[in-house]
């Protein structure tokens, strides 16, 4: 067993933005500035560390890989990988590892979100993801060097949750093979590694493998053809000055500048529209909501990326800051109230926050329960705020069950018929939504707005 701490990280703002956008077009200046600040901030927050061990393989039987533990007794340890256990049939050894970048960056990300610094929070989170990838690559090189010394090849990197049939619960077996406390990591009750930005993986080494480089397991994924990570460049979305100049109407100018993330211009144009005698509700629907609709459509089809949506949302909030007092005075009806939260046991909030911003851009009043929201939290929020809609998010297969528990809690409280329930998140499907009694499923933030509008009538 070995500990690796001296891992050089040379992340740049340009690299982080390239990983986010995955295209050649130059990102908005505000995105570049946020990336620069995030990279600088990350240098005092990231503490990379890894624990790893190369264990002999005794056999592969069915869906299990039988290893010889690194202990005086040399007892057997089993990893249940599921149908793809055969990926390790050629292995003489298996390198088992857990690596992390520590808890400080994740803590700072949550603080930034709570302070309303959504773009910077997203960029810092993206820097953390890139740093974690760099640590993984360093471990890949270690394995490749070891295999080369033995004249062997290597398998793809495999991890619980990355293969059909090897669920996240498989981390219990894997993590039991290593002293996680030596790198400040642990496994929580939901089989999720803590700190949040930590990864576990296994890599096979053996003379039967043809590749000398650790590859990706993506080629074995049933969603490989549709995954956004495997898509090519979607093309340019730059809007020309001619297009902007042709938008003579002030509402079109608001929508166009919102799309471009020009928050100061949006606020100024909203004031200009008010000075022209336009009703606040007209400015809201014809300018701000129209602009966010356009953002949502381009985000849905892959022409915009998360940073650009966050920049547009910031511009939308600048316009709403001018309008909100006037809308309250005029008692202008919005799209409705929407209670949203990430379910109990799940600390992921980037997707939930994006849905929240898109909903606000569409005129919904959101009540955000944050992460790790219990069924009781949802019940209490519905009682207090009387929303038309409730949205639940989950990123982990182990926390999806909390969605059903929350639906049941609303039923027991006599509140189920008063709301429409939406669910979403990476492991969630339309079939699952129907099974738990939800009213709708949304695969992404832009679609969530369309679904919410349909449910709200």
Q: What is the distance between the alpha carbons of residues 58 and 49, in angstroms, rounded to a whole number? A: 29
Kindly report the pTM of this predicted structure.
0.69
Work out the number of other CB atoms within 10 angstroms of the CB of residue 296: 23
> With contact defined as beta carbons under 8 Å apart, do 343 and 373 qualify?
yes
Q: Where are the domains of the chain?
A: 2-230, 237-333, 334-457
- Fold identical between 2-230 and 237-333? no
Q: Tell me the pLDDT tens digit for each residue of 203-220.
A: 999 999 988 999 876 665
Bridge-based pairing of strands 76-80 and 93-100 is: unpaired
Q: Homologous superfamily of 334-457 in CATH? A: Cobalamin-binding domain (3.40.50.280)
> With contact defined as beta carbons under 8 Å apart, do 47 and 106 qualify?
no
- Asked if residue 328 has pLDDT above 70, the reply is no
Q: Tell me the pLDDT tens digit for each residue of 28-70.
A: 777 788 889 999 999 999 999 999 999 999 999 999 999 987 6
- CATH number for the domain formed by residue range(s) 237-333: 1.10.1240.10
Angle at 65 between CA 61 and CA 70, to 5 degrees: 135
pLDDT confidence of 440, banded at 50, 70, 90? Answer: very high
User: What pLDDT score was predicted for residue 351?
Assistant: 80
- CA 406, 407, 408, 411 dihedral sign is positive
> With contact defined as beta carbons under 8 Å apart, do 375 and 344 qualify?
yes
Among the ranges given (9-18, 22-31, 429-438), the one the predictor scored with the smallest mean pLDDT: 22-31
Q: Tell me the pLDDT tens digit for each residue of 365-408.
A: 899 998 889 999 999 999 999 999 999 999 887 888 999 999 99
Per this entry, what is the length of the chain? 457
Q: 154: Cβ–Cβ under 8 A, 6 or more apart, which residues? A: 143, 144, 147, 203, 204, 205, 209, 211, 212, 213, 214
Architecture of domain 2-230: 3-Layer(aba) Sandwich (3.40)
């Amino acid at each position: 067993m070995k500990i690796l701490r001296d891992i050089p990280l040379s992340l740049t703002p340009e690299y982080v933005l390239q990983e986010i956008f995955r295209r050649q077009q130059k990102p908005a200046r505000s995105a570049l500035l946020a990336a620069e600040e995030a990279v600088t901030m990350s240098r005092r927050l990231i503490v990379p560390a890894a624990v790893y061990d190369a264990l002999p393989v005794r056999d592969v039987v069915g869906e299990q890989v039988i290893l010889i533990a690194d202990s005086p007794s040399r007892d057997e340890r089993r990893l249940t990988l599921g149908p793809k256990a055969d990926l390790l049939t050629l292995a003489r050894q298996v390198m088992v590892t857990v690596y992390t970048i520590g808890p400080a960056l994740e803590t700072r990300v949550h603080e930034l979100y709570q302070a309303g610094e959504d773009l910077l929070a997203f960029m810092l989170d993206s820097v953390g993801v890139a740093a974690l990838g760099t640590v993984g690559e360093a471990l890949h090189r270690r394995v490749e060097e070891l295999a080369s010394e033995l004249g062997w090849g290597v398998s793809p990197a495999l991890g619980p949750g990355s293969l059909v049939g090897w669920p996240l619960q498989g981390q219990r077996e894997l993590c039991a093979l290593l002293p996680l406390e030596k790198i400040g990591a642990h496994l929580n009750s939901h089989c999720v590694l803590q700190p949040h930005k930590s990864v576990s993986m296994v890599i096979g080494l053996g003379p039967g493998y043809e590749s000398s480089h650790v590859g990706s397991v993506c080629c074995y994924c049933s969603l490989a053809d549709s995954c956004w990570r495997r898509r090519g460049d979607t093309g340019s979305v730059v809007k020309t000055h001619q297009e902007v100049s042709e938008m003579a109407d002030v509402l079109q100018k608001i929508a166009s500048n919102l799309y471009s993330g020009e928050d100061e211009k949006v606020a100024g144009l909203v004031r200009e529209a008010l000075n022209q005698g336009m009703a606040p509700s007209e400015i809201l629907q014809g300018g701000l909501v129209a602009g966010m609709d356009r953002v949502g459509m381009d985000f849905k089809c892959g022409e915009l990326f998360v940073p650009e949506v966050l920049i547009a949302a910031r511009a939308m909030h600048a316009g709403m800051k001018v309008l909100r007092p006037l809308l309250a005075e005029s008692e202008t009806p919005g799209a409705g109230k929407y209670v949203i939260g990430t379910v109990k046991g799940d600390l992921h909030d980037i997707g939930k926050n994006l849905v929240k911003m898109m909903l606000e851009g569409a005129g919904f009043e959101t009540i955000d329960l944050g992460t790790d929201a219990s069924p009781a939290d949802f019940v209490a929020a519905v009682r207090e705020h009387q929303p038309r809609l409730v949205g639940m998010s989950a990123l982990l297969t182990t926390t999806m069950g909390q969605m059903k528990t929350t639906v049941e809690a609303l039923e027991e409280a006599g509140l189920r018929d008063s709301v429409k329930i939406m669910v979403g998140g990476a492991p969630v499907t339309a079939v699952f939504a129907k099974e738990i009694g939800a009213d709708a499923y949304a695969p992404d933030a832009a679609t969530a707005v369309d679904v919410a509008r349909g449910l709200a009538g």
